[in-house]
Chain A
Amino acid sequence: MGNEIKTGLYLCTCEGEIGRVIDIDSLAEEASGWSGITAVHRDAFLCSADGIRKIREDIERLGLDRVMIAACSPFFKVREFSDLGINRYLVERVNIREQCSWVHRDDTDGATRKARTMLRVFLEKLKNSRPLEPVKRPILKTALVIGGGIAGINATLDAAGADCEVFLVERKPFLGGKVAELHNYFPRMCPPSCGLELMFSELGKNRNIHVQTLSEIGTVTGSPGNFEILIKTSPRHINERCTLCGRCLEVCQKNAVIYPEGFSYPGIPAIHRALCEEGCRRCKEICPAGAIDLDEKERLNNIKAGAIVLSTGWDPFDPTPIKEFGYRRLKNVFTNIEFEKISKEKKISFDEPKRTAFIQCVGSRDERYLPYCSDVCCMVSIKQALFLKEVNRENEVYIFHNDIRTPGEYEELYQKARKSGIIFIKGIPSELRQDGNKKIDFSVFDTVAGERLDITADMVILAVGMRPSNGNIALKDKIGIALNKNDFIESHLQCYPQDTQREGIFSAGSCRAPMDVSRSIESAGTAAVKALKFFRGKVEISADYPVVNTLKCDVCKRCVEECPFKAYYFDDKGFPKPEISKCRSCGVCMGSCPLSAISLGDLSIEQLSEMIDALDKSYLGNDEPIILSFLCKNDAYRAVDDAGIKGIKYPPNLFSIMVPCSGAVNGAIVSKAISTGIDGVLVAGCPDEECHYVHGSMLAKTRLADISDKLKEMYLEPERVRFIEISRDDAEKFTRSVEDYAKELRKIGRNPLRV
């Protein structure tokens, strides 16, 4: 593209905030002689209406094709500088306030020298900037909800209620999930029929809703906004003609008829053919409505959806491996989920008073099984203990716990349990025993009393935790979502809990984390709103997505493997190519490519390389070390801005370049910096678990360690490259590290490669 660009350089003194420290006049004078600069303008208040007007007029009058704004941080005055009448990728903001005048205010000479270098470097970047337009694709306003538990049902109702067409797919014969199996549910203690029945009647009424039970997802193709999903439906063997006369149930000797409860949806039984007796046709023969078809086959159908909501729910933890609790081996030891059924179906007699012991945290908060808190078990045990007290006031109930967690309003139920005489003991039994009789003996150390108690109980309930349902794992690869270390659906928990790592795919309910009914319903609403928001207009794909230079690429597939969003596929010539609707422009692929063949649209490898060439390594004279830092956009860059805002100082030896993620920094660029005389390269990214791009910072860390090793081989000091973890709030940590690093580099001495 050469040098024939026409850049307007706008220098702001910011009412003295910048001008007091940096010699703007001399910079303006000098820059007007640089090639590529057509106009230079000084302003005391560039973001004012007048300032903006001036830029707009210059562009028109002088035919400017690039604009460089040397003023505050690019995260400041975003609106003001967003509409200048020129493609936004041709505008470069040079941060001479937060990252220069404010932090180097005691060193006017150093600050001015650094500002000059910044102008030089970012002018070089502009020379190879291209105008880019976002790609727009239409979105199908249809949602697919996978999993028909309480979360899935509510996500469906909410989205359909806002006039969106929804397909709800459930693999069991009936909707309702685990809630349908409960005896009653806290905090109001209503039976499941109460809430579910109302929801089902709404489902039935809404013509926008299409429910498919006994169905699972086959394949998912297409991209966000335009998914195409193959659904496999197993035969029900009984159709709508069924009048619920119940004769099939009566004649079946194999318990193969799964009969609906009063409120079930759909209200039609199903036949589990695998259980049938060979050749038996009794039910078909007896059915007066002719509703049974024992030869019905699996059906396949395709649906198209713009967005997907996952609500695959949870499964109970199986406590068998915790041998000391003797589950399955001892009589009268049940799990909490079994106890729901026991109390619902009154499977045991409650006439005789009993002594019952609940043991909390079974599997949960246990390094070996579920290292997290399962959220609901404390409340579940309290609910079940209260039930025992209700059926027979003489029942003795103990809850052995680690901590009781009943946040918010739930404290009320805890108080009620206390009042009712339920005994809470902080202490977990180590082993349950049973000799001959059906009673269970155990001793437990009451940590508050400081004494061992020996207990004999009639029944022990293990409060087992919630683990993600196997539906999560089944869908993981089919739709390309990430699961966290516990196999729940991964999300950026505090900012975007309902977003998965794939565009257009959201999660609702307990497939994301253990949660109770009320939070499941809340999260379903959020997921529905997210989907509806996604439906508005078109998928606008940011134009800065990466491009693979196929002339350089040797198809090593590193980018394909390291892309955090699995966006890469192979084009018809066999080269890797990002599916731009999945791409989030983090640049991790750019950082990964061993041949530097990948460039982001707005920051190419070539640009970075030329910027490093343009960086005067002696801008602070021959003796001062220069530290080139790459700061991730979401956290480190902002933390460094914060240093300026808080008035923390650091030496002008630091020169920063913003990258979308620390994982975008390619080793070749780091090597280039060192080989051209930069004394130290500092890459700042998020701590592993905070990285916005999953494993970007982790990759950056390992890549830098490799380069460090290589430096050693070249007889250069390995300390010349460094990775530091910087969170959004780590301004002080960062500036301290910069100071220390500068001192360290002074001690090591000048980079011998500096000319």
Chain B
Amino acid sequence: MYNYLLDKERLRYCYQCGKCSSGCDVNRLDGSFQPHRLLHLISIGAIDKVLKSADIWKCTTCFTCSERCPQGIRVTDILWNMRAMAVKSGHIPELLVHQREVLLKAGRLYSVGPIDNKKRGKAGLNAIPEEHPVIAKIFEISEVED
């Protein structure tokens, strides 16, 4: 995967011009998140640092950087791939582990409980199933190999 990124994703062509970071709204809010820096770390082989860092989870996938990069580097896709690699290597932020569990069970990020359905009933709304086994199935069959 790593070599694939280097060869196919034009990572090696990054100028470090910083145009990606200049336009990144996450960077505006959190200066420590610098897409160009992450690309640099990946291209010099310090990918472990990137996988362990919380930064890769901050990208909103707005694609602004990818659209404007003079080298046509698909920055967003790369960061997205980093997330997949981080999961594979076991670097998953605590919050996400929890979210995944909820999602698998309930099919949504908010887990609906009896209290919620009671409230809904009072308001004249349908009850929502607390569990959604189909979702787990979807996850299972869409599991992609590297």
Contact = CB atoms under 8 A, between A and B. Distances in A.
A553 B43 CA distance: 55
Contact of A445 (B15, B22, B64, B72): B22
Contacts of B70: 361, 365-368, 402, 428
A394 interface: no
B64 A430 contact: yes
A242 B42 CA distance: 69
Interface string B15-43: 11111111110011001001011000000
Contact of A427 (B18, B24, B64): B18
B17 to A, nearest CB: 4
Contact of A431 (B15, B16, B21, B23): B23
Contacts of A365: 15, 70
Given A443-B22, A444-B22, A450-B34, A368 B15 contact: no
Contact of A428 (B19, B27, B28, B72): B19
A447 B36 contact: yes
A428 B18 contact: yes
A734 to B, nearest CB: 26
Chain B residues touching A, range: 20 to 34
Contacts, number: 70
A452 B21 contact: yes
B58 interface: no
B19 to A, nearest CB: 4
B132 interface: no
A584 B71 CA distance: 38
Given A445-B36, A451-B31, A452-B31, A428 B71 contact: no
A147 B113 CA distance: 80
B17 A367 contact: no
A494 B125 CA distance: 78
Interface in B32-86: 34, 36-37, 64-65, 68, 70-72
A444 B21 CA distance: 8
A430 B17 CA distance: 10
B72 to A, nearest CB: 4
Contacts of A324: 23, 68
Contact of B68 (A426, A430, A443, A445): A430
A404 to B, nearest CB: 12
The CB with the most chain A CB atoms within 10 A, among B18, B24, B34, B71, is that of B18
Interface in A412-433: 426-431
B92 to A, nearest CB: 27
B119 to A, nearest CB: 45
Interface residues of A, number: 23
A402 B15 contact: yes
A446 interface: yes
A447 B19 CA distance: 9
The CB with the most chain A CB atoms within 10 A, among B22, B27, B72, is that of B22
B71 A430 contact: no
A444 B68 contact: no
A367 B17 CA distance: 14
A431 B23 CA distance: 7
Contacts of A403: 15
A429 B15 contact: no
A144 B27 CA distance: 58
Interface string A431-446: 1000000000011111
Contacts of A426: 16-18
A324 B70 CA distance: 12
A428 B31 contact: no
A443 B65 CA distance: 14
A361 B68 CA distance: 13
A319 to B, nearest CB: 13
A723 to B, nearest CB: 22
Contacts of B19: 427-430, 445
Contacts of B23: 324, 429-431
Interface in B67-116: 68, 70-72
A378 to B, nearest CB: 14
Contacts of A451: 31
Contacts of B16: 426, 447
A368 B57 CA distance: 29
Contacts of A430: 19-20, 22-24, 64-65, 68
A446 B36 CA distance: 11
B72 A368 contact: yes
B34 A428 contact: no
B72 A367 contact: yes
Closest 3 CB pairs of A and B: A430-B23, A445-B21, A366-B70
Interface of B: 15-24, 27-28, 31, 34, 36-37, 64-65, 68, 70-72
10 contacts: A324-B68, A361-B70, A365-B15, A367-B70, A426-B16, A426-B18, A430-B68, A442-B22, A445-B27, A445-B34
Given A361-B70, A403-B15, A430-B24, 15 more contacts: A324-B68, A365-B70, A366-B70, A366-B71, A426-B17, A427-B17, A427-B18, A428-B17, A428-B70, A429-B19, A430-B64, A444-B18, A445-B21, A447-B16, A450-B34
